[in-house]
């Protein structure tokens, strides 16, 4: 059984690793990604605020050396879900099973003025470029703003505002600056009222202006104002934006999408095409778009494929659960775990920020670097 995995993010890496761990040389996995390295989402903010360097957070796909797994670095040009095949710059590949884990592409140009007058920080390149902008920033009005929904890692804009506060304090620029956070959500983390309340308290303590239920629709570079969906205008000297998200063009052109994303069975992650699965940000499965959800979904697909390889009945199902470590500033980390189940309201639990959770976040990153890449790594 050849498994063709498109995308080597949290989902693709976890799926390939699990199949290799369980099946060894009996695995037959082709993992395809256009990049030559992987960067964990939270590492972008660490680079952006000067905690570490860009080179220190890169994980080379050359280190993905596992029994039964072949990594191919190439651009995917087309996907045929009917034949479970893809055309790439490295040639054509076919599988008995196809798993699409290509994530969401980011489109700063979809928001008028963002490219010209602002700075997106959700791509590695954007975050690393923002680090240079922040290094030369001398104070003023800063907006951290979301431009569309859905968007990856819903806690990240809140983390950015809190980390920005600490950054400016350390530079002696906080009194000369204002920080505003503009988000489309009614609370920072709606599934966890306790986490949301803790974040709102942290904003208030630090003088961060919170603007809920709001989206930034455009930036006027000449007047230096952000125009919100309701017509309000907020002046800025520095705009840090979460850009519009969409499926990669090659996925959109495959015919697999409905309303912009790939629909899947919420329990099995199967698409409407036989032996074709999709996991993570590229889907409309109903959970937030974040690596931890993609990883857990990939684990379910791996279990089902392992059961199939062993001629066992497929019992593994997705429970809609994911956890997130949240930067609260002042060297403290909180933890939220949320569960999304079809037809039920989401529920979440929250652990108050602490130094102990910082250590657990570090272990989260280092343990995955070890399993996926075989490397010993510390984020900073």
At 47-59, the pLDDT tens digits run: 999 999 999 999 9
- Model confidence pLDDT, tens digit, residues 157-200: 999 999 999 999 999 999 999 999 999 999 999 999 999 999 99
Q: Which helix (H) or strand (E) holds 133?
A: helix 124-135
Hey, what are 154's tokens? 């819903």
Residue 313: per-residue pLDDT: 87
Residue 209 domain flag: yes
* Least confident window among 99-103, 141-145, 198-202, 285-289: 285-289
Asked whether residue 92 falls in the same domain as residue 121, the answer is: no
With the C-alpha atoms ordered 267, 271, 277, 280, is the resulting torsion angle positive or negative? negative
Cα–chain center distance at 335: 17
SS3 state of residue 348: strand
The yes-or-no verdict on residue 379 having pLDDT over 80 is no
The three-class DSSP label of residue 191 is coil
Average pLDDT of the segment spanning 75-89: 98
Residue 112 sits in the same domain as residue 241? yes
377 pLDDT more than 90: no
Report CA-CA distances (Å) from 35 to 130, 233, 368.
Answer: 21, 38, 18
CATH value at residue 283: 3.50.50.60
Strand segments (E) across 318-357: 321-329, 332-339, 347-354
- Give the pLDDT of residue 342: 80
Residue 378 has pLDDT above 90, yes or no: no
End-to-end CA distance of the chain: 40
pLDDT at 85 over 70: yes
Where in the sequence is the domain holding 257, given as residue range(s)?
A: 3-104+248-309
Total residue length of the chain: 380
Domain boundary among 191, 224, 245: 245
**How much is the pLDDT for 56?**
96
16-72 per-position pLDDT tens digit: 999 999 999 999 999 999 999 999 999 999 999 999 999 999 999 999 999 999 999
Nearest to 237 by CA among 176, 159, 184, 183: 176
Q: How far apart are CA 45 and CA 128, in angstroms?
A: 9
Q: How confident is the model at residue 251 (pLDDT cuts 50, 70, 90)?
A: very high
| 336 falls within a domain | no
Q: What average pLDDT does the chain have?
A: 96
Count structural domains, the chain.
Answer: 2
Check whether residue 28 and residue 40 sit in a common domain.
yes
Q: Is the dihedral of CA 165, 39, 363, 324 positive or negative?
A: positive
The residues pairing with 234 across neighbouring beta strands, listed in sequence order, are: 226
What are 274-310's pLDDT values in tens digits? Answer: 999 999 999 999 999 999 999 999 999 999 999 999 9
Residue 380 has pLDDT above 70, yes or no: no
Domain identity same for 60 and 146: no
Mean pLDDT of 131-160: 97
Looking at the fold, whether 113 and 241 belong to one and the same domain comes out as yes
DSSP state letters, 348-372:
EEEEEEEHHHHHHHHHHHHHHHHHH
Look at residues 309, 335, 351 and tell me which one is the last residue of a structural domain: 309
Contact 135, 101 (CB under 8 A): no
Cα–Cα distance between 239 and 182 in angstroms, integer?
11
């Amino acid at each position: 059984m050849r498994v063709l995995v498109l995308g080597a993010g949290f989902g693709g890496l976890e799926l390939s690793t699990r199949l290799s761990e369980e099946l060894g040389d009996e695995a037959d996995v082709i993992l395809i990604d256009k990049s030559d390295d992987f960067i964990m989402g939270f590492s972008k903010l660490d680079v952006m605020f000067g905690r570490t360097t860009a080179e220190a957070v890169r994980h080379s796909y050359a280190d993905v050396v596992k029994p039964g797994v072949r990594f191919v670095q190439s651009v995917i040009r087309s996907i045929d879900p009917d034949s479970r095949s893809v055309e790439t710059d490295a040639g054509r590949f076919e599988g008995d099973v196809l798993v699409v884990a290509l994530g969401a592409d980011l489109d700063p140009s979809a928001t008028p003025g963002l490219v010209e007058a602002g700075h997106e920080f959700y791509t590695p390149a954007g975050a690393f470029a923002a680090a240079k902008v922040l290094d030369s920033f001398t104070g003023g009005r800063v907006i951290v703003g979301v431009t569309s929904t859905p968007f990856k890692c819903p806690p990240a804009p809140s983390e950015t505002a809190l980390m920005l506060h600490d950054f400016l304090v350390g530079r002696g620029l906080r009194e000369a600056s204002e920080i505003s956070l503009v988000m489309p959500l009614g609370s920072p983390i709606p599934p966890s009222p306790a986490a949301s309340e803790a974040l709102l308290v942290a904003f208030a303590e630090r003088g961060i202006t919170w603007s809920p239920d709001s989206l930034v629709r455009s930036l006027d570079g000449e007047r230096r104002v952000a125009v919100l969906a309701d017509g309000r205008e907020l002046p800025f000297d520095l705009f840090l934006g979460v850009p519009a998200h969409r499926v990669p063009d090659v996925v959109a052109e495959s015919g697999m999408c409905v309303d912009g994303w790939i629909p899947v069975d919420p329990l099995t992650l199967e698409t409407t095409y036989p032996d074709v699965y999709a996991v993570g940000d590229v889907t409309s499965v109903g959970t937030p778009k974040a690596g931890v959800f993609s990883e857990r979904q990939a684990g379910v697909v791996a279990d089902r494929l392992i059961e199939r390889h062993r001629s066992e009945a497929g019992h593994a199902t997705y429970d809609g659960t994911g956890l997130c470590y949240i930067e609260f500033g002042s060297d403290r980390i909180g933890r939220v775990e949320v569960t999304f189940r079809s037809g039920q309201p989401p529920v979440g639990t929250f652990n108050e920020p602490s130094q102990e959770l910082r250590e657990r976040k570090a272990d989260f990153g280092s343990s995955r670097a070890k399993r996926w890449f075989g490397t010993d790594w510390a984020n900073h």
